[in-house]
A and B are shown apart, each in its own frame.
Chain A
């Protein structure tokens, strides 16, 4: 299997997985879920790091990669922390009921 075919399979299966993962979500969790998924989309950090790693110390590439890494990390760090802040408020509320009805 060529690298491309393999990548396309990965794309297809990843998409299907994404469609299946969240079927029923209580409206309460829409905002945190959106925010969490948004943080995960900051996985572009991997692309930024790869760009830096393969830059062969070319300065423009290093700068672009670093800038891109900054943007992606802003998304990741901010996204996860904000999501956690929101969710922390839910879990503190219902220790005895143990979640939604």
Chain B
């Protein structure tokens, strides 16, 4: 008897333990993959435990099957089809759906109140939180995804103080809905809360510039944990509360780590608007104010590479957009065969998400040891012959170190200006994601190679091959 009652509890405890171990293992390279599997196993255990505790009717099974079929299959297809370059958007999409799930559960309980009838204050508060956070997570994540995909621009009104007025009004509407909710669980206050929270999610995310988007996604990820924990209170599941709280807290830490890497405070990310949007210089203006630009052809660049002993590549979002990681890998192989020492300098926030570049380059079989983090690679630049910046901009801007009026001032950057020669591969002189002029482009040792990263890299490959580089010289 006692054993039978104990079993689900033991399963739950086992699941929590595995989840915790999973999250912990995910923070080490050597254990990350098995830890991910462990967490997935924990999830399966948790579901099993729940099904033992709460047997389903045949009709319920049917609906479970429908939901499982739709969500599971779509998830499976999405996960397999999505290109590595679109990872940040994908995570945002998944995250938004998690928030939506919490929102729907809370709606279900509020509208039809299953279980033991009369709802207490705690349940009402949990429903409010679950709806509020769930809706913000959903709409915010979808906006974040749209901005990363380039579907949504930053409207200019969101850069004025008008947005604060709008958002405050929405927040007040949410509060009003929340206060009125206990009196009328299934009525208009609930819908006011749903609509106002969704709009608030949009209103808060829309003004944020693309450079800050990684932080926003991480924060929204933390929210979805909070939403899950709130849903745990709604349905009375302790396992859900623990797991939600863990993810919420871990997400906050990760968000903080990212903010530190960009030298931005969370407050300025959330309320400061798009970086550079209101700044006096440049700000979207094409090629604003560049006077001493040297541009060069792929041939000249190839010649410099051919003569170099140490080459460092600095990948950025442009590399991801151009899908040029394989061409880059091929070029470095060629150079390595030629006896050139090749490494990659990875800025913590290069790309649209921390680790974005690592993932991208790993896909192209670049050995892990060649990816150098900022602290390690920065002292190496003075003895580097050639640096090739591929679609990165703000993370190599020397103004961040020297110009205290620059909005980037204080952000740790890759000190590529210390290298002997710098080639910047870029499509145009348009401002970077932060919308700020880059002093690197005007340095005497810098030359711009205009073009799509993939096209330029392929051009370099052709040039180098025609020079006979990389052909087996064999000892």
Which A residues form the contact surface with B (CB < 8 A)?
A: 3-4, 6-7, 10-19, 21-58, 60-91, 93-94, 97-101
Evaluate contact between B88 and A31: CB separation under 8 angstroms: yes
Interface centre among B59, B227, B245 (most CB of A within 10 A): B245
Inter-chain pairs besides A27-B373, A32-B355, A68-B100, 10 sampled, C-beta below 8 Å: A11-B229, A14-B241, A18-B250, A22-B250, A28-B346, A37-B26, A51-B109, A74-B94, A75-B97, A88-B33
List B93-108 residues whose CB lies under 8 Å from chain A: 94-95, 97-98, 100-102, 104-105, 107-108
Contacts A57-B57, A82-B91, A94-B369; A43 near B244 (Cβ below 8 A): yes
Min CB distance A85 to B, Å, is 7
Query: Measured between C-beta atoms, what is the minimum distance from B52 to chain A in Å?
Result: 11
Contacts A34-B91, A54-B115, A82-B79 given; indicate if A28 touches B108 (C-beta within 8 A): no
Residues of B within 8 A of A78 (CB): 74-76, 78-79, 90, 94
14 cross-chain CB contacts under 8 A: A15-B246, A21-B250, A22-B250, A38-B95, A41-B221, A42-B98, A46-B46, A46-B237, A49-B64, A51-B105, A54-B235, A64-B112, A89-B359, A101-B369
**Contact B29 A58, beta carbon cutoff 8 Å:** no
The answer to whether B355 and A31 have CB atoms under 8 Å apart is yes
Known: A68-B104, A82-B82. A35 touches B91 (CB 8 A): yes
Of B27, B82, B101, B354, which is within 8 A of A75 by CB? B101
Whether B363 pairs with A31 at a CB distance below 8 angstroms is: no
Contact pick for A41, options B82, B95, B358, CB 8 Å: B95
**Interchain CA distance A6-B233 in the complex, whole Å:** 11
A68 B108 Cβ-Cβ under 8 A: yes
Chain B residue at minimal CB-CB distance from A76: B43
Contact with A along B53-88 (1 / 0, CB 8 A): 011110110011011101110111011101010011
Task: Report whether B64 and A28 are in contact in the complex, using a CB–CB cutoff of 8 Å.
Answer: no
* Distance A99 CA – B242 CA, assembled complex (angstroms): 30
**Which B residues lie at the A interface, using CB under 8 A?**
19-20, 22-24, 26-30, 32-33, 35-37, 39-40, 43, 46-47, 50-51, 54-57, 59-60, 63-64, 66-68, 70-72, 74-76, 78-80, 82, 84, 87-88, 90-91, 94-95, 97-98, 100-102, 104-105, 107-109, 111-112, 114-115, 122, 217-218, 221, 224-225, 227-229, 231-254, 257-258, 261, 346, 348, 353-356, 358-359, 362-363, 365-369, 371, 373
Bound: A13/B30 CA distance, A: 28
Q: In the bound complex, do residue A41 and residue B224 qualify as a contact, i.e. CB atoms below 8 Å apart? A: yes
The answer to whether B98 touches A38, judged by C-beta atoms less than 8 angstroms apart, is yes
Check if B246 sits within 8 Å of A69, measured CB to CB.
no
B257 surroundings in chain A (CB, below 8 A):
25, 30
Residue contact B111 to A80, C-beta cutoff 8 Å: no
Contacting residue for A61 out of B51, B108, B228, B249, CB 8 A = B108
Least CB distance from A5 to B in Å reads 11
Contact B359 A63 (CB under 8 A): no
Docked CA distance A79–B95 (Å):
9
Q: Please, how many angstroms separate the alpha-carbon atoms of A75 and B363 in the complex? A: 23
Closest approach, in angstroms, between the C-beta of A52 and any C-beta of chain B?
5
Query: CB-nearest residue of chain B relative to A98?
Result: B30
B258 proximity list for chain A (CB < 8 A): 30
Closest residue of chain B to A91 (Cβ to Cβ) is B33
Q: Which 4 A-B pairs have the closest CB atoms?
A: A18-B249, A14-B245, A69-B67, A73-B71
Beta-carbon contact of B87 and A35 below 8 Å: yes
Given the complex of chains A and B, what is the CA–CA distance between A47 and B131 in angstroms?
Answer: 13
Provide the bound-state CA to CA distance between A98 and B108, in Å: 49
In the bound complex, CA of A41 to CA of B97 (Å) = 10
Chain B residues whose CB sits within 8 angstroms of the CB of A48 once the complex forms: 67, 101, 104-105
Cβ-closest chain A residue relative to B251: A37
Question: Considering the chains assembled together, what is the distance between the CA atoms of A31 and B359 in angstroms?
Answer: 8
User: Contact at B87–A31, with CB atoms within 8 Å?
Assistant: yes
Please determine whether A47 and B353 come into contact, CB atoms closer than 8 angstroms. Answer: no
Q: Is A62 within 8 A of B63, CB to CB?
A: yes
Task: Give, as a whole number of angstroms, the nearest-CB distance from B123 to chain A.
Answer: 10
Bound-state Cα–Cα, A70 to B100, Å:
10
CA distance A48 to B239 in the complex (A): 14
The answer on a CB contact under 8 Å between B27 and A22 is: yes
**Does B240 lie within 8 Å of A43, measured CB to CB?**
yes
A52 to B51, CA, bound (A): 11
Pairwise interchain contact A39-B39, C-beta atoms closer than 8 A: yes
